Structure 1
């Protein structure tokens, strides 16, 4: 069976008249072009070119097969154009839900790039610390953090393992000093979630006994604002805390608090081309973003 790439080399040399010009056109070495042409001729048992000091001329047999090769090229280009046109015709509304921090860090930038590729797809971003019910159609896609969702109707992809640590404002660190270890965080006033039963809240209660909770807040953005204002220290994702001007990471990432992140959808939603396109694109952009932050995160290849 003929290899389309062999035809590409044949056509390039036939049109330019030399392996040097063809190599520049195809952005490969001249020796590669020469080798591919020779191998192609041997495979089909036909001499296609006459080698001359001035270049390559088509033999009569080469002249006779040139129109057929050009027809194959036209068909492949037409097919490629059709696929591209079809991808650009993907259209519809996709509802994606996640926490505000993930939306700001990953989803919104990804959606901006997605619009360039799929201009007829509209993504509605719903930020909430509460889980929407994908099985009941409250959203099409979710990016969630914490234990792996176990609902049977959900399709779950592991995205990342996100590192976390204590952060405080530069002013508060100047007043109190850097902690020697985790129990020494008891010297700091702490900002915590309203959910006293969350895994982070329970961990703080166990590892920092006697800690003073100076402020409680219901959302991560509120906790960050409280830390920035100097109300106290708090545990934040390193992805965010390391990038916030005026905050200081008080210790290395806390291994026990590493939080897995998940891309979640349903089988029904995943089967819809415009939704699948958004899933694949957002996952791709998240992985590219995380790859640029090796000190902040442990990146896990999505399944």
Structure 2
């Protein structure tokens, strides 16, 4: 009996059809037409002498043999990605594209001018910035470097903590014209703003939820950017990162820095990439630039 001749494209074809659950969406992903995928799958199943998919009204469902091929395809893909990372880690010059993930708050209020200075200093580099509040999978190269506010960076990544982001309670300066040391308990009867349910696990959000009566929480928003805008507009008082609020002349700090709100600011990458020339150049540059603003980030002075 002749052994079937299998190549990587066969495994990839089965994996993509399984993920797409049909030939037409698989064809779109592969950039070919429907009939090409139909023909290739038919030839593959005929050559193997076994069905790889059951055809149902709801889509294509893997048979046990198809499940084995898909599992092998995923393993092969992971090995290729690991090899690519290792090759990338051996790059000798800071050149090429680097994909960075961070959140909108850090990008708008801290990182954009730093990124611009990095590009000026490294003209052979290009940055692809991906905004995401959730952690991207650096193992699958969703990004090369993550810049995150967290107290618990993933154990699968390596990097360093470059600052501690300080928070305090802020209000609109027009509503508090006389500077004073406020007793927080005297502020609980005022209108408050807080982060939305998607960020309910953040320490600042828990603080408001645990101490302020629900009827006094008049405004919730699912981004820190929106929270700062709401406080500045006079919707209510609320907790904000100092490096954002302290640069807004219309806001005033109503409390001491609350260490219970703080979070670490981390530069993170995958272990296979830490020796990459462009990753090292980027992380060293960003770390040095952030250190210049560390006092402001930690609530001690207005940012530059």
* Change in CA separation of 1:215 and 1:128 when aligned onto 2, cut-off 3 Å: same
CA distance in 1, matches of 2:298, 2:224: 23
CA contact (8 A) 2:149 2:266 kept: yes
| Structure 2 counterpart of 1:243, from 243, 247, 250 | 247
Counterpart position of 2:190: 188
Counterpart position of 1:49: none
Matched residue count: 209
> C-alpha deviations, 1:243-267, integer Å up to 9, x for none?
1120111121112222211111111
Q: How does 1:136-175 map to 2 (within 5 A)?
A: 136-151=140-155, 153-174=156-177
Instruction: Tell me which moved more, 242-251 or 263-272.
Output: 263-272
CA RMSD of aligned residues (A): 2.6
CA distance in 2, matches of 1:239, 1:277: 25
Instruction: Tell me the secondary structure at the aligned position of residue 228 of structure 1.
Output: helix
CA contact (8 A) 1:182 1:207 kept: no
Instruction: Tell me which moved more, 231-240 or 129-138.
Output: 129-138
Q: How does 1:1-303 map to 2 (within 5 A)?
A: 90-151=94-155, 153-174=156-177, 180-195=182-197, 196-209=200-213, 212-291=216-295, 295-296=299-300
Instruction: Tell me the secondary structure at the aligned position of residue 142 of structure 1.
Output: strand
The normalised TM-score by structure 2 is 0.62
The normalised TM-score by structure 1 is 0.62
> C-alpha deviations, 1:139-193, integer Å up to 9, x for none?
1111111222133x2103111112110111123335x996732222212211111
Instruction: Tell me the secondary structure at the aligned position of residue 232 of structure 1.
Output: coil
Q: Which ranges in structure 1 are unaligned for 5 or more consecutive residues? A: 1-85, 298-303
CA distance in 2, matches of 1:178, 1:132: 43
> C-alpha deviations, 1:210-241, integer Å up to 9, x for none?
66111111111111111111101111111111
* Change in CA separation of 1:190 and 1:178 when aligned onto 2, cut-off 3 Å: farther
Instruction: Tell me which moved more, 257-266 or 103-112.
Output: 103-112
> C-alpha deviations, 1:1-37, integer Å up to 9, x for none?
xxxxxxxxxxxxxxxxxxxxxxxxxxxxxxxxxxxxx
1:106 shift after superposition? 3.0
Instruction: Tell me the secondary structure at the aligned position of residue 252 of structure 1.
Output: coil
CA distance in 2, matches of 1:294, 1:140: 26
CA contact (8 A) 1:241 1:247 kept: yes
CA distance in 2, matches of 1:129, 1:173: 33
CA distance in 1, matches of 2:298, 2:236: 28
CA distance in 1, matches of 2:164, 2:183: 23
CA contact (8 A) 2:243 2:299 kept: no
Runs of 4+ deviating beyond 4 Å: 176-179, 291-295
Q: Which ranges in structure 2 are unaligned for 5 or more consecutive residues? A: 1-90
Instruction: Tell me which moved more, 176-185 or 263-272.
Output: 176-185
